[in-house]
Structure 1
Amino acid sequence: MDAIVEAALKKWPNVPHCYGWLALDARGDWYMRDERIQAAGPFPRVKGSRIVHDKLIGFIHRNYAADEHGAWFFQNGPQRVYLQLELAPWIWRLQPDGRVLSHTGREAQVLGAVLDEQDRLFLETDLGLGLVHTQDMGPAADAIESGRWTLSNATHAELVARHGLQLEPQDPKRAPSAPAGKD
């Protein structure tokens, strides 16, 4: 985490969390989702504005983490911005030298490969669950065929549950209440 972020957290420890304004798609792209976009439909059907500013993307990457409940967030100064994940918190890019890097540039050690019901390839790593970027399916197939990675099958829902992920964290203060007459 950036030192400036840690200082802001100490100075303003009780800033309310933010929900629904940032999303990560299956290609590792970040999207801003203002109130108008959120009202227009759920992510990823309605994505919002793709973030292209390199310094902002770098700041998000350095301050990207998960809480104890499996909800991923970006620590923006004193405010925790919870984000929506299209499929997983990491998007893996395979390097020519065999390394596996996340969309944030962090290196991961592969523990296993999993094909879901839609033939999407996920890697379970020391950093957690992530999706192999579509452009890296050739090298991923080579890693499986050569025996470097062991392949198994699971549904996406099973993977999410196994890794304790929240794909769309909700503000507990705005949680829907029980319908009238229901206990």
Structure 2
Amino acid sequence: MDDIVKQAMAKWPNVPDCFGWLGLDARGQWFLRDDATQAQGAFPDSKGSLLEHGKLLAFIARNYAHDDQGRWFFQNGPQRVYVELEAAPLVWRLQPDGQVQAHTGVLAMPEACIVDEQGRAYFMTALGLGLVHSLDVGLVADGLEQGRWPQEEVPAARLAQRFGFIPSPAQHQTAQM
């Protein structure tokens, strides 16, 4: 986490959390979801505006984390902005050395490959569960045929509970009120 973010959190410790305003799609793209977008429906059916500014994307990536409840967020200075997830908290790209790189740039080593009923592939790593980017699915299929990773089938509807993340912190927050 950036030092400037830590300083802002210390200076303003009681800033309310933000829900529903940021989404992460299945290709690792961030979407800003204003009031009008949120009124049109839940993420990803109503995505919002694609974020494309390089420095903003890098700032989000450096300050992306999760809490003890499994809600992923972007720490924006003193404000925690919870992220709506289309598929998983991370999106992985395979690297030539066998590691995977998250949409945030962080590297990890796959521990297992999870496949859902639709054939989508996920990797479990020390950082958590992430969906394999659609451009790398063929490479994963080849790796599975070669026995590179243990494979397990898990229905998509059970991934969040099984791997400890909350796909929609906004809906979760509303349900708890």
TM-score tier by shorter-chain length is over 0.9
- The letter of the residue matching 1:72 is W
Which protein is bigger by CA-based radius of gyration? 1
Change (3 A) 1:46 1:8: same
Tell me the TM-score normalised to structure 1 length: 0.92
Instruction: Please list the CA deviations of residues 25-78 of structure 1 after superposition, one character each: whole Å capped at 9, or x if unmatched.
Output: 000000000000000111111110000000000000000000000000000000
Name 1:137's counterpart in structure 2: 137
TM-score calculated relative to the size of structure 2: 0.95
Quickly say closer, same or farther: Cα 1:147–1:5, change in 2 above 3 A: same
Aligned to 1:119: 119
Return closer, same or farther for 1:176/1:166 CA change in 2, 3 Å cut-off.
closer
After superposition, residues 159-178 of structure 1 pair within 5 angstroms as 159-170=159-170, 174-175=174-175
Tell me the C-alpha RMSD between the 2 structures.
1.5
Classify 1:115/1:173 alpha carbon distance in 2 versus 1 (closer, same or farther; 3 Å): closer
Aligned to 2:72: 72
For residues 151 and 53 of structure 1, do their structure 2 counterparts lie closer, same or farther at Cα, with a shift above 3 Å needed? same
Instruction: Return closer, same or farther for 1:98/1:77 CA change in 2, 3 Å cut-off.
Output: same
Residue-pair matches, total: 177
Structure 2 counterpart of 1:15: 15
> 2 CA distance for matches of 1:9 and 1:170?
22
In structure 2, relative to structure 1, the CA distance for the partners of 1:138 and 1:79 (3 Å cut) is same
**Displacement, 1:157?**
2.1
Residue pairs, 1:3-152, within 5 angstroms: 3-152=3-152
Distance 1:139 1:171, change over 3 A: closer
- The alpha-carbon distance between structure 1 residues 48 and 143, as it changes in their structure 2 partners (threshold 3 A), is same
Structure 1 CA distance for aligned equivalents of residues 11 and 158 of structure 2: 40
4+ aligned runs moved over 4 Å, structure 1 = 171-177
Instruction: State the identity as a percent.
Output: 54
Residue 175 (structure 1) shift: 4.5
In structure 2, what residue type is equivalent to 1:145?
E
Q: Which amino acid aligns with 1:38?
A: Q
Distance 1:105 1:176 in 2: 33
